[in-house]
Structure 1
Amino acid sequence: MPDFDMRTALTIYVLINYVCAYLMAATFKVSKNRFGGVGYFLLHFIFQAVGMTIALMRPAIPQFFSVILANTLMICGVISFTLGAAMFTRRRVSRLPFALYTGVFIAAFLYFTYITPDIQIRILLFSGMLIPIFLYVACILFKPTDATYKEHCGFTGTAALMFAALFLVRVYVTYINGPVADYVNAQSPDAIINMFTTLLTVLLLYSVQHMINGRLLAELELLTDTQSGMLLKMEHLATKDHLTGAYNRRKIEEIIKSEISRYNRREQPLCLILCDIDNFKSINDNFGHDVGDKVITHTIDLITAHKRDTDKAGRWGGEEFIIVCPMTNIEHATAMAERLRNIIESHQPDCTQERQKVTVSFGVAQYVTGSSVESFVKCADKALYRAKQRGRNAVMPSPGSCL
């Protein structure tokens, strides 16, 4: 069985990097405007593929291209990945140290290519200089500036650590094996290491895709939560009174219609309590509209706090309020209205400074089969009018039909 030679290992590595570059390009096209750093991830795979392609052309092309340029591109690819990780996690990173690092690498490679040619030292130099870069990538991803990114970046950080460990092994293996005569055509343990590099490259691509998809899902969840909040706010604006926070007239009408439909199915008693703050105009005239608003809020708060859980209360308009009482006959609804009248009378608001007593009149009506919403409310309104005629601060049930 023939040995697995270096050229085969490197050729597979090149092909895998081109495939990874293609897949990363597709990801970049989709997400380039959403996340920073994705373009740098793409450059990493492109530089790796192009750099190794040029390296495989030796000895057909000059060493400057097959050695200096090829290895520089691969170093720059890893640096690009580092910058991408920093941008993706919104960490501020200066590019100057990386430029100086690359300059030192190029100078050292020029020296050990033209002045003192030594393939073994070049391998040690290349691998040794990649180790701190991958460790820095892992540091960025394991400790992002924004902690919300941490759960999405750990997988890629682990892949970076595995690269650092692999190149550390490569340094050790290269050192103990001694001088290398022809790197590309060598049959050595480095071929196996390069196959592991290929596998880690696939893992790195997968981890990057996982990291990006994790961010996408997190943003989708945030968007969903935001939209849910907006929908709740819109629903609140559509159904709640802006001053009191109680149901508005539109919502109360919907509730009445719903309760009438339930009445038609089950024929359980249904009542309305319509109430109005007595002498409200004089409150506005004597204390101002701000105090009038406070009196309105104070009154509906008392009604809401002391009504039954099954009842629905809201602001009908101006200083008028309405309570929908399902499964309640007119006797019980009248008794409840009387209880609310006493509570409101005994809990005077501070804003009127006891100079004017706040009282409320109540009209109560029971639903009759075939009544419309309008006639049902009108029936309660007539009862309220009678309570006002009796001198206010009173409760009056409707005596007649609501048809």
Structure 2
Amino acid sequence: MDINTLIILTLPAALAITLSMATVFWTSRTYPGFGYWVIGSSCRVLAAVLFLLPRDQLPLWLTIILANYLLLAEIMFYRRGTLVFRGQVVGYGWEIAASVTFIALCVYFTYITPSLNARIAVISLYCAAWNAWMVRVLLTRRPPYFGFIDRWQAGIWGGLAGLNLSHAWFVLMAVPPLTDFLITPALNAPVFLSLWIPLILFASLLIALSQVIMNTQRLEYELRIAQTQLEQDIIERKCHEVELRQARDVAETTNRALQTANTELSQLATTDALTGAWNRRRLEEAAANEMQRLKRYGQPLSLIAIDIDFFKKVNDVHGHAAGDQVLIGLVAVVRSMLRPTDSLARWGGEEFIVLTPCETLESAALIAERLREQIAKTVFPAVDTITVSLGVAQCLPQECWEQWFARADAALYRAKAGGRNQIQTAPETPPHDGSNKAAANLVQLNWHQAYACGHPLLDQQHRALFEHVNRLLDALLLSQPADEIAGLIELLIHDTIQHFKDEEAIITAAGYPGAANHAAIHRALIDQARSLANRFRVGSLDTGELFHFLAHDVIALHLLRADRTFFPYLVAPQRLDQIPNA
């Protein structure tokens, strides 16, 4: 078979190998150096095409010299690609030297001393040398990601080196001078050359396959490394998470212990150890805060000083242990009668202070009277009953804590000097001497236009309720007949029920979202009013308790506070500083 036919038959296979390599390069993840392998494979295809060109019509440098050089360049590109693939530095010195000498010899044996045998020997020897170099590159400094495939490829290159050496020896020693069979197609190529071409093609196919496998092995190796690193990172992260959770648990435990310790320390620092009431320091802090609120918002603020009468006698007769129990019991009684907003502190010895925010002198005096009455009725173990003296003072905006307390203390002193078991108000106000007429003059709830919500019916009913309450308070404090007082109570309850019914209808129609809760508050107030009315009929109602309910629960807390929540749904709300104290 002539050589042209062999080249034509092998060209499609070489082209297919090159296209397959290029497809892997373009569509898959490849490493640096793979592109040189694609170029090397392309050199072989281009060389085959140049060999098929008519040499009698085209220059010999194209069809002979360049075509043969491309066969050598193929191996050079394979070597360069392999070194780059392995991450090694590649120079150009040997490639340039080999290229120059090879082209010079090809020119000499083509133009000066034409010899086909010499040209075949030159290309075979150069290719054998570079084949052997490829074996050395593949078998030395092997990266860890290679398995068997680099040794397999080294074996192929070794076989090619041997094939090229035998080819060179054959054309130099075993055959006579050859005629250019590519120029004269009728001439058949020697048998060894006919076998050499398909062997070279088969070896190229194996090399291309091994290069793809080498790329795949490296990908798999790096994937295993990445997976191992990821697993290690996951293990380390889990260890860190465990450590963080443990540290967080320790921190939370420590924080809770610190909070508990701080709470205990704060309790110890601000609480009387015997009675559990506030100590002097805590009282002064609370008083300072309430005095700031008084100056800012104008809310009333009062103070009640309490001193146990003849307490020294209790200690002398019954012992200090009994005296301690009296102090503890007294705190329990006082606390049971105070609001959540009131504060009780032990000032020293048998003297106690009650801080009553939002209370005027008059209402604080009534609270003090209720405390006095309840303490006098309470039986204390080992000592039976005791009495207390009380001094009441309302804080004035311009005075300091020491001045305010001094006035309350002076009132307390007057109570003790006046016979004990009584209350006295601060010197700047008329003394609380038990006169019902004086108390009646002091206790008056005054309507102010700032209390108005803007709805004519509701404002009219609110003013009427103020008048009802004032008439009832006058009757109570002036000790009018019980039948007359009972009639006033029933009239007040009747008018209040009607007012609540009208108010609920109005705020519901206005779209107030808290209408249902407001109605529930109304029902609770009516139930409490009826309960107090029943107790009044049987004579078990304390005057101070009824006054506190009317002045504080109904007027101060409900009409002047709770009702204000629906004002925005009727008219624009007024400023706080425009609302006087009730």
What is the TM-score of this pair, normalised by structure 1? 0.57
Gap runs ≥5 in structure 2: 259-582
Q: Deviations over 1:299-344 (max 9, x none)?
A: xxxxxxxxxxxxxxxxxxxxxxxxxxxxxxxxxxxxxxxxxxxxxx
Q: Which residue of 1 aligns with 2:138?
A: 141
Whether the 8 Å CA contact 1:138–1:161 is kept in 2: the answer is yes
C-alpha distance in structure 2 between counterparts of 1:178 and 1:133, whole Å: 27
Q: Which residue of 2 aligns with 1:166?
A: 163
Higher RCO (Cα < 8 Å, 6 or more apart): 1
C-alpha distance in structure 2 between counterparts of 1:147 and 1:125, whole Å: 37
Q: Which residue of 2 aligns with 1:180?
A: 178
Q: Which residue of 2 aligns with 1:52?
A: 48
Counterpart amino acid of residue 48 in structure 1? R
**CA positional deviation for 1:155:** 2.1
Whether the 8 Å CA contact 1:124–1:174 is kept in 2: the answer is yes
Are 1:207 and 2:203 matched, yes or no?
Answer: no
Whether the 8 Å CA contact 2:147–2:217 is kept in 1: the answer is no
**CA positional deviation for 1:125:** 0.3
Counterpart amino acid of residue 51 in structure 2? A
Alignment equivalent of 2:75, drawn from 53, 74, 78? 78
Gap runs ≥5 in structure 1: 250-275, 282-403
Alignment equivalent of 2:39, drawn from 39, 43, 47? 43
The RMSD of aligned alpha carbons is 2.9
C-alpha distance in structure 2 between counterparts of 1:65 and 1:96, whole Å: 25
SS of the residue aligned with 1:242? helix
Query: Structure 1 residues 208, 230: closer, same or farther in 2, change over 3 A?
Result: same
C-alpha distance in structure 2 between counterparts of 1:223 and 1:92, whole Å: 25
Whether the 8 Å CA contact 1:68–1:110 is kept in 2: the answer is yes
Q: Deviations over 1:335-372 (max 9, x none)?
A: xxxxxxxxxxxxxxxxxxxxxxxxxxxxxxxxxxxxxx
Are 1:21 and 2:32 matched, yes or no?
Answer: no
Query: Structure 1 residues 210, 145: closer, same or farther in 2, change over 3 A?
Result: closer
SS of the residue aligned with 1:181? coil
**CA positional deviation for 1:244:** 6.2
C-alpha distance in structure 1 between counterparts of 2:13 and 2:127, whole Å: 20
SS of the residue aligned with 2:179? coil
C-alpha distance in structure 2 between counterparts of 1:94 and 1:135, whole Å: 18
Q: Which residue of 1 aligns with 2:201?
A: 198
**CA positional deviation for 1:218:** 1.0
SS of the residue aligned with 1:35? coil
Are 1:63 and 2:60 matched, yes or no?
Answer: yes
**CA positional deviation for 1:172:** 2.6
Counterpart amino acid of residue 52 in structure 2? L
C-alpha distance in structure 1 between counterparts of 2:27 and 2:163, whole Å: 32
Q: Deviations over 1:77-113 (max 9, x none)?
A: 2111110011112222321111111010001100100
Whether the 8 Å CA contact 2:50–2:63 is kept in 1: the answer is yes
C-alpha distance in structure 1 between counterparts of 2:32 and 2:150, whole Å: 14
C-alpha distance in structure 1 between counterparts of 2:237 and 2:9, whole Å: 57
Q: Deviations over 1:45-98 (max 9, x none)?
A: 101100121111132422111001111122112111110011112222321111
Whether the 8 Å CA contact 2:124–2:165 is kept in 1: the answer is yes
Q: Deviations over 1:257-294 (max 9, x none)?
A: xxxxxxxxxxxxxxxxxxx89xx97xxxxxxxxxxxxx
C-alpha distance in structure 2 between counterparts of 1:126 and 1:23, whole Å: 27
State how 1:231-380 maps to structure 2 within 5 Å.
231-238=234-241, 240-242=242-244
**CA positional deviation for 1:167:** 1.0
Q: Which runs of 4+ in 1 moved over 3 A?
A: 145-152, 242-245
Alignment equivalent of 2:151, drawn from 132, 151, 154? 154
Counterpart amino acid of residue 121 in structure 1? A
Whether the 8 Å CA contact 1:138–1:160 is kept in 2: the answer is yes
- Percent identity between matched residues is 18
Alignment equivalent of 2:99, drawn from 87, 97, 102? 102
C-alpha distance in structure 2 between counterparts of 1:150 and 1:116, whole Å: 48
